[in-house]
Amino acid sequence: VANRVISFARGAPAPECLPAAELADCARAALERDGATALGYGPATGYPPLRNWLAQRHGVAPERILVTNSSLQAFAFLVQHLAAGSRPRVLVEAPTYDRPLKILAAHGADVVALPMDEDGLDPDALERELDAGDASLLYTIPTFQNPSGRTLSLERRRRVAAIAAERGLLVLEDDPYGLVRFEGDALPPLFELEGGERVVYGSSFSKTIAPGLRVGWLVAPEPLAAALAELAVSTYISPVVPTQATVYEFLRRGHFESNLERVRGLLRARRDAMLGALERELPAGATWSEPNGGYFVWVDLAAGIDTRELLTRASAAGVTFVAGTDFFPSGAGGESALRLAYSFVSPEEIAEGIGRFGSLLPEPARRGR
């Protein structure tokens, strides 16, 4: 730990989360059993046995499932589809995941920021924006949000689902972290509450098996799934099939639940180390989220502290994070905030890294031990 840079910037799983030996076995078995299919150009909609498995899991017809080279690719297809012909107006949470903001900007979208608090996005603000003008899409991450770690409350889920249904608002529910829950009961997805007509559900195996597989999926109404499949064909002919076949073998062998339980334990220990270290090291006046799952804690330091300037000093001191402004459309907001990912580093490194971080903050206000 001594001199190495400790990264709280990387929203990636620690190497010990990755089930490498099992996946090696599954890859070999998948290619031996079904190599002719898995090594050919697959259907653009994904490896059929995996697509069927996902359809069953979501209780929908397989025609509604599009398996993609992971979920960011599916998001890009959806935005490309919405941007064909006119400039889409897209509502997002503020803060939100930074990569979709870049994809939206690249497609010239009019991006509207919706405020959120500890219970997730504010449904009143959503209604106000819909009164102000039609929207092509609401992009939301209701569970263990990136970057905030926050979860949309049940009451708000019901309201957002009702708004989507009443107003015919298309919603993308991006849910890569929902199964990575450390405690408490899962809340129903918007997709289920609304009935899956206006709410499109997206997820991937990046956080539950391994991100390098690049296997994700969307559940969409059939015409939309078909339109996106057309874009997939003209982008890459077919997604990468061998990793989809490997994932299917992993699922078929019943490894999914046991691996998930193992991953939850590894990440829970990291979340606990992070919250403990923040309590010890951060000054009075700082606030942070307390996630029940996922990868991230969102910290707000006292107003007046510029976290971009702090990042320069932190990097020099051997600890990194992502500054809050990266997660706001046009960088408007989050000046005193930052995202800490506890997923990648060890609990020991978390304690050391937050110690380094805390020592950069104004001394008089520190809580002291």
Ligand X SMILES: Cc1ncc(COP(=O)(O)O)c(C=O)c1O
For residue 201, the minimal CB distance to ligand X (Å) is: 12
293 sits near ligand X (criterion: CB under 6 A): no
- DSSP-assigned beta bridge partners for residue 341: 296
Per-residue binding string, ligand X, 191-210, x by CB under 6 A, is -------------x-x----
Stretch that binds ligand X, among 32-40, 49-57, 66-74, 312-320 (CB under 6 A): 66-74
Nearer to ligand X, 11 or 42 (CB): 11
Candidates 7, 45, 71, 244; binder of ligand X (CB under 6 A) is 71
For residue 54, the minimal CB distance to ligand X (Å) is: 14
Candidates 79, 141, 163, 231; binder of ligand X (CB under 6 A) is 141
Among residue numbers 231 through 260, which ones bind ligand X (CB under 6 A)? none
- What is the Cα–Cα distance from 78 to 233, expressed in whole angstroms? 14
- Distances in whole angstroms, Cα of residue 169 to Cα of each of 80, 134, 200, 278, 356: 18, 8, 11, 39, 45
For residue 151, the minimal CB distance to ligand X (Å) is: 13
Contact (Cβ atoms closer than 8 angstroms) between residue 74 and residue 99: no
Closest residue to ligand X using C-beta atoms: 204
216 sits near ligand X (criterion: CB under 6 A): yes
Nearer to ligand X, 103 or 193 (CB): 103
Nearer to ligand X, 106 or 132 (CB): 106
Total site size for ligand X, rule CB under 6 A: 13
151 sits near ligand X (criterion: CB under 6 A): no
Candidates 97, 248, 288, 342; binder of ligand X (CB under 6 A) is 97
Nearer to ligand X, 97 or 248 (CB): 97
CB hemisphere CA count around 92 (13 angstroms)? 29
For residue 71, the minimal CB distance to ligand X (Å) is: 3
End-to-end CA distance of the chain: 22
Phi-psi region of 120 (alpha: psi -120 to 50; beta: other; left: phi over 0): left
211 sits near ligand X (criterion: CB under 6 A): yes
For residue 306, the minimal CB distance to ligand X (Å) is: 25
72 sits near ligand X (criterion: CB under 6 A): yes
For residue 213, the minimal CB distance to ligand X (Å) is: 9
Nearer to ligand X, 71 or 238 (CB): 71
For residue 240, the minimal CB distance to ligand X (Å) is: 13
- What is the Cα–Cα distance from 192 to 198, expressed in whole angstroms? 11
Nearer to ligand X, 267 or 305 (CB): 267
Nearer to ligand X, 34 or 58 (CB): 58
Nearer to ligand X, 136 or 143 (CB): 143
Tokens of 321: 């994070």
Nearer to ligand X, 139 or 288 (CB): 139
Candidates 11, 46, 293, 334; binder of ligand X (CB under 6 A) is 11
Contact (Cβ atoms closer than 8 angstroms) between residue 138 and residue 164: yes
Residues contributing to the site for ligand X (CB under 6 A): 11, 70-72, 97, 141, 146, 174, 176, 204, 206, 211, 216
